[in-house]
Amino acid sequence: MFKCRLMPASRMAPPGRRILVTGALGQIGTDLVEELRARHGTASVIASDVREVPGHPFLEDGPFRLLSVLDGDGMDAVVREGGVGTIYHLAAILSATGEKNPNLCRRVNVGGITNVLEMAMKHDLRVYAPSSIAVFGPDAPKLSTQDSPLNPTTTYGETKCTGEALARGYLDCFGVDCRGIRYPGLISWKAPAGGGTTDYAVEIFHAALEKGHYECFVRPDTRLPMMYIDDAIRATLDLMDAPPESLGNSRAGYNVSGISFTAQELADTIAERIDGFTCDFVPDVRQKYADSWPDAVDDSVAQDEWGWKAEYDLDSMVDAMLEGLSRS
């Protein structure tokens, strides 16, 4: 795939350069930009997205750019004019939306990371580009390890495998330091989930508080790897802070383990806290995508190489979600 010109050591962006976040108004970006701005200062973090979300705080607080990741020239201008040294590349089409529109999913997910990696090569940038548990397919063990086979049956999963391969190629050939995590399904309350299969684990909280009832689109025995957003943000920043020499061949897509629970266990845990909450299970097409993914992942490589350990379990995640949503 690549014609290697040279094989330099991994390059680090000089300190003091700003951070660009693509897809910043989405589920993860909403939490990640807030944490990056708390650490580096508001003016140092440029939020960008292809859309404006009415009322989203990033449109008013701090630098925001309307930017499609498919617009290479536009990205180049933002990087040069903004003095960018690191890109957190979150823009993507997630699994449920992606399976409805596979061409869009391929275009945005593969085209987006290609533009970001080209930008990184040209301007000496560091990159964070997340992967997903969707890289695994039905032939992977239900407890998937770092080296389990990557044969996804969703287009979304294929694009994530391609993203990992591109990141490895740009590191080997051009020394681009691109790191990534195979996020489990992420559970957060500041922004809605963005069209994924694991969205039920977010929607259920909103429905429980607003209506006392949820119609869940997967079977009650569906078990998937999940993670509370605070753990995911900490994992992201810990990985980006890790010294390059501690990272091995998994740098483009580390397994990280959070919580593994069934949809029924989630509903029961919420019902213990909200009197009268009920949940029906009416599986739709997303059941097939969920069934093709592992139940849980083994993250011993992330533990060994950069000290990863999750903090939230099912009870503390449910408490944090209900508290966050009740305050917001």
The residues of the shown chain that bind ligand NAD, judged by CB under 6 A, are 22-23, 25-29, 49-51, 68-70, 90-92, 94, 108, 130, 132, 183, 185-186, 194-196, 198
Q: Which does 302 bind (CB under 5 to 8 A by kind): ligand NAD, ligand SER, none?
A: none
Please give the structure tokens belonging to residue 207. 């429905």
Kind of pairing between the strands at 185-187 and 131-132:
unpaired
In whole angstroms, how close is the CB of 50 to ligand NAD at the nearest point?
4
Q: Which amino acid is at 269?
A: T
Bridge partners, residue 89, by sequence: 22
Q: Which does 51 bind (CB under 5 to 8 A by kind): ligand SER, ligand NAD, none?
A: ligand NAD
88 is catalytic: no
Q: Which does 180 bind (CB under 5 to 8 A by kind): ligand NAD, ligand SER, none?
A: none
**One of 108, 134, 227, 252 touching ligand SER (CB under 6 A):** 134
* Burial 133-153, CB ≥16 within 10 A → b, else e: bbbbbeebeeebebebebebb
Tell the burial category of 162 from Cβ atoms under 10 Å away from its Cβ (0-12, 13-18, 19+).
Answer: middle
Q: Which does 258 bind (CB under 5 to 8 A by kind): ligand SER, ligand NAD, none?
A: none
Are 221 and 281 spatial neighbours (Cβ–Cβ below 8 Å)?
no
Site string for ligand SER, 86-105 (x = CB under 6 A): --------xx----------
**CB atoms closer than 10 angstroms to residue 111:** 15
For ligand NAD, the closer of residues 85 and 180 by Cβ is 180
SS3 67: coil
Please give the structure tokens belonging to residue 295. 């139940």
For ligand NAD, the closer of residues 271 and 295 by Cβ is 295
Contact window for ligand SER (CB under 6 A) among 50-58, 121-129, 190-198, 253-261:
190-198
Please give the structure tokens belonging to residue 250. 């998994």
Bridge partners, residue 19, by sequence: 45, 86
Indicate which residue of 88, 128, 156, 254 is catalytic. Answer: 156
Active site residues: 156
> Binding residues for ligand SER, per CB under 6 A?
94-95, 132, 134, 156, 185, 196-198
